[in-house]
């Protein structure tokens, strides 16, 4: 899926009219492989390079706005929920598609359970409220899943120990 298609799904699921949401805006530190934190001034380094894309700012006719806690999160793939684990701002939901691509939607609140099926555009959860210096945002990652993984042990720490190769979750 292209990033603009994801923007359209986000706009639709959150009932934002076209003039309120036209495209995502990104700053240094929000992209895959970035080494700096985007939410602080200066060049403060992350503990590990960024594993995905952070969605926070978007552009519309009224100017730049940002996502809000409680905004709905659309799925960008058809798949099955295989894991859900806490992260430092909420929880991370792992959805695997028919090609064994695993999409991770992080810093969210969800009521989905392991085994639930999702389709493109279906609601995965909501952006979580955060406390502290990191504002509420959606983090999306993608990697190729192992066929024999025990998903019950999957956490961010476990993924880093496996040296997972993260790829861009959206084409183009």
Highest mean pLDDT of the ranges 8-12, 43-47, 69-73:
69-73
Which domain range does residue 33 map to?
3-66
Q: What is the arithmetic mean of pLDDT over 89-93?
A: 96
Place of tokens 């701002």: 89
Of 149, 145, 136, nearest in space to 166 by CA: 145
pLDDT of residue 172: 53
Residue 144 and residue 110 share a domain: yes
Residue 80 and residue 155 share a domain: yes
Rg (CA), the chain: 15
Q: Which residue has the higher pLDDT, 152 or 132?
A: 152
Residue 162 and residue 97 share a domain: yes
Strands (E), the chain: 23-25, 52-55, 57-60, 63-66, 72-74, 79-86, 91-96, 101-109, 117-118, 123-127, 138-144, 166-167
Residue 147 and residue 81 share a domain: yes
Asked if residue 172 belongs to a domain, the reply is no
Domain count, the chain: 2
């Amino acid at each position: 899926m292209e990033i603009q298609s994801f923007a359209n799904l986000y706009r639709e699921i959150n009932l934002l009219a076209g003039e309120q949401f036209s495209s995502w805006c990104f700053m240094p530190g929000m992209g895959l492989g970035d080494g700096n934190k985007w939410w602080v001034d200066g060049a403060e380094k992350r503990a590990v390079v960024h594993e995905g894309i952070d969605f926070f700012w978007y552009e519309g006719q009224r100017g730049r706005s940002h996502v809000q806690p409680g905004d709905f999160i659309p799925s960008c793939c058809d798949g099955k929920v295989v894991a859900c684990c806490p992260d430092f701002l909420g929880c991370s939901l792992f959805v695997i598609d028919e090609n064994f691509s695993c999409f991770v939607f992080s810093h969210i609140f969800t009521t989905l359970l392991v085994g639930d099926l999702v389709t493109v555009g279906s609601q995965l959860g909501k952006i979580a409220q955060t406390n502290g210096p990191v504002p509420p945002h959606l983090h999306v990652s993608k990697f190729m899943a192992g066929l024999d993984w025990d998903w019950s042990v999957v956490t961010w720490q476990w993924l880093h120990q496996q040296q997972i190769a993260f790829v861009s979750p959206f084409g183009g």
